[in-house]
Chains A and B, each alone.
Chain A
Amino acid sequence: MFFAAENISKNFEGLKVLDHVSLEVGEKEILALIGPNGAGKTTFFNILSGIYTPTEGKIRFKGKSIAGLASYQIAERGIARTFQNLRLFPQMTVLENILSGFFFKTRYGLADALFKTKRFKQEEEKDVREACEISGFIGLKNKENELARNLSYGEQKKLEIARALALDPSLLLLDEPTAGMNHKETENMIDLIRKIREGGIAVILIEHDMKVVMNISDRIIVLDYGETIAEGRPEEIRNNEKVIEAYLGKRT
């Protein structure tokens, strides 16, 4: 399997937030992770992206174990993420935000920067060109030199995805990409996620908007109180008793 997390558990001082959750994603697959608030979805993302280390469990990506690696090492291996509440670099420009994703790939050192060597110029030029391509792809053309904090909320959400794409990932973790968006913006986001997948990137997304989830995901995993309660195709999940119960409560 391209990406597999097996039996992931996470305890915070005895509080069990995740209990043996497993998940697999195939190449170019869109997998949705849903569940009521506090189900452990974001914690799961934080484990996958190396911000937390799991108490138990294995994570394999492209045949190699990545559990316990630092966040930046996981990013280098091709897993990029966005955050539920925007975590841009607000005082930096759009372009600089995107360029940050090229950091580890850019091949020059401090000395090259100090003496403005040929390599420095070439690498910088290449990075800026690629960053402009990404901003064009994401729909932030001509905003490259604006500060991130001056963008509208929808644009900031896009920029976060653009920044993640700069890592040239093969797996993208999106934490509530359409939260707080209006109908039109949500539509655009759905198109964008599809386009990203067509570009050869697998996507795991946490999402509360069921229209989005049912619309774009190939498969859905439902978490409740840190446990997987259902897994399947959208139409299967829609009618699953356990899922309805988790969201709405028991039928009387």
Chain B
Amino acid sequence: MLKKAKLLEIFFIVIIALAAYLLHLKQEFYLVHILSLAGIYVLLALGLNMVIGYTGLLDLGFIAFYAIGAYSAALLSSKGFSFWAILPISILITCAFRFLLGKPLMRLRGDYLAIVTLGFGEITRLILNNWDALTNGPKGLPRVGETIRPITLFSFHLNSEISYFYLILFFVAASIFAIRRIERSKIGRAFVAIREDEIAAEAMGINTSYIKLLSFTISAVFAALAGVIYAHWIGFVSPESFSFWESVFLVCMVVLGGMGNILGIIFGVILLVGLPEFLRITLGGEFVLYRMLLFGLLMVIMTILRPQGIIPEKRRALELKD
């Protein structure tokens, strides 16, 4: 039997899918595009939430792994690999990088971790910008004469905005499903225990450096997923998509929406992706120039009035056994 909450979620997803289709019918392709973009950010924010929200590791360079996912996809695609082959390969590559960075990093705490991840993010961007032979530098990928092949799903080519939106929606739903399962296991509880008190967690028999590394590595799956889809959807990747600001933007989404709460994070993404678009439509294009100012103000107000986020974390009551 499906539980009521689960039915509600499925209903919610169906509503979004139908709303997107309606926009598609009314030829509001730009809005569908924004919805897809929000979906990509949800994937990223879900991954980042695993480290920041659950495990309490402040990661300011998450976007680097989004970049690794997207670039590996672009490179593999121009070598003739299909999306379905690229997906697992890119996830593996991204997780490998994440693991290698995380391994020595897990000794660091708090601010130091934030600084090193920030540094890694910048290094990645600089490499993408300067390693012409591999990344084609600021000109981005694919190179002239090459293309990123469109995704095919059973002989059906995904080429419209709406088809990509459905693909993204599917992966978002699958990710939420998987994260829920992790969250509600001993592994998810260990993540939160480490966030709450690392020394106590260790004293309770939790190998904290291993579990932190696990959280750090798993989170890259979602970054890679977002990167691979992004590369195929847009058909082009360049270093400017992976700036430090994107990392900050992501952290804002997670913190604003509510760390540790999936619904909160989705809300945070919708707010930060949707708000500028809403303002662009209602107040005109120039207003978008001030969006960073607005985000800053929003963050200041939030930290004063509601530091736990718009929809804060809520621990699930477990069914008791007597």
Docked pose: A88 CA to B188 CA in angstroms: 17
Q: Indicate if A179 sits at the interface (CB-CB under 8 A).
A: no
Inside 8 A of B240's CB, which chain A residues have their CB?
none
Q: Is the CB of B187 within 8 A of A113?
A: yes
Q: Indicate if B141 sits at the interface (CB-CB under 8 A).
A: no
**Chain A contact residues (Cβ within 8 angstroms of B): what range?**
35 or more
- In the complex, per-residue mask of A65-101: 1 if CB is within 8 Å of any chain B CB, else 0: 0000011100110001101000111111101100111
Stretch at the interface among A30-38, A102-110, A201-209, A235-243: A102-110
Identify the closest chain A residue to B179 (Cβ).
A114
Given B185, B186, B205, which contacts A72 in the complex, CB threshold below 8 Å? B205
Distance of B26 from chain A, by nearest CB (Å): 39
Q: Is the CB of A91 within 8 A of B203?
A: no
Q: Is the CB of B204 within 8 A of A101?
A: yes
Q: Is the CB of B189 within 8 A of A92?
A: yes
Q: Indicate if B190 sits at the interface (CB-CB under 8 A).
A: yes
Q: Is the CB of B318 within 8 A of A100?
A: no
Q: Indicate if A144 sits at the interface (CB-CB under 8 A).
A: yes
Docked pose: A142 CA to B230 CA in angstroms: 49
Stretch at the interface among A17-25, A124-132, A192-200, A225-233: A124-132
Q: Is the CB of B186 within 8 A of A91?
A: no
Q: Is the CB of A89 within 8 A of B197?
A: yes
Q: Is the CB of B197 within 8 A of A87?
A: yes
Number of A-B contacts defined by CB within 8 Å: 123
Q: Is the CB of A110 within 8 A of B187?
A: yes
Q: Is the CB of B318 within 8 A of A145?
A: yes
Docked pose: A146 CA to B208 CA in angstroms: 25
Identify the closest chain A residue to B188 (Cβ).
A113
- Assuming A128-B319, A128-B320, A147-B315, is B205 touching A91 (CB within 8 A)? no
Q: Is the CB of B186 within 8 A of A108?
A: yes
Q: Is the CB of B315 within 8 A of A96?
A: yes
Q: Is the CB of B321 within 8 A of A103?
A: no
Q: Is the CB of B192 within 8 A of A75?
A: no
Inside 8 A of B196's CB, which chain A residues have their CB?
88-92
Inside 8 A of B185's CB, which chain A residues have their CB?
108, 110, 112-113, 120, 124
Q: Is the CB of A100 within 8 A of B319?
A: no
Docked pose: A11 CA to B207 CA in angstroms: 26
Q: Is the CB of B182 within 8 A of A113?
A: yes
Given A110, A114, A129, which contacts B321 in the complex, CB threshold below 8 Å? A129
Inside 8 A of B321's CB, which chain A residues have their CB?
125, 128-129, 132
Distance of B314 from chain A, by nearest CB (Å): 10
Q: Indicate if A163 sits at the interface (CB-CB under 8 A).
A: yes
Q: Is the CB of B193 within 8 A of A100?
A: yes
Docked pose: A2 CA to B181 CA in angstroms: 41
Inside 8 A of A147's CB, which chain B residues have their CB?
315
Q: Indicate if B305 sits at the interface (CB-CB under 8 A).
A: no
| Selected A-B contacts with CB under 8 Å, 23 pairs | A51-B199, A72-B202, A72-B203, A75-B202, A81-B203, A87-B200, A88-B200, A89-B200, A93-B317, A100-B190, A101-B204, A103-B186, A110-B182, A110-B185, A110-B214, A110-B218, A114-B178, A114-B181, A124-B185, A128-B321, A132-B321, A132-B322, A145-B318
Hey, which bits of chain B sit against chain A, CB under 8 A? 178, 181-182, 184-190, 192-193, 196-197, 199-208, 214, 218, 313, 315, 317-322
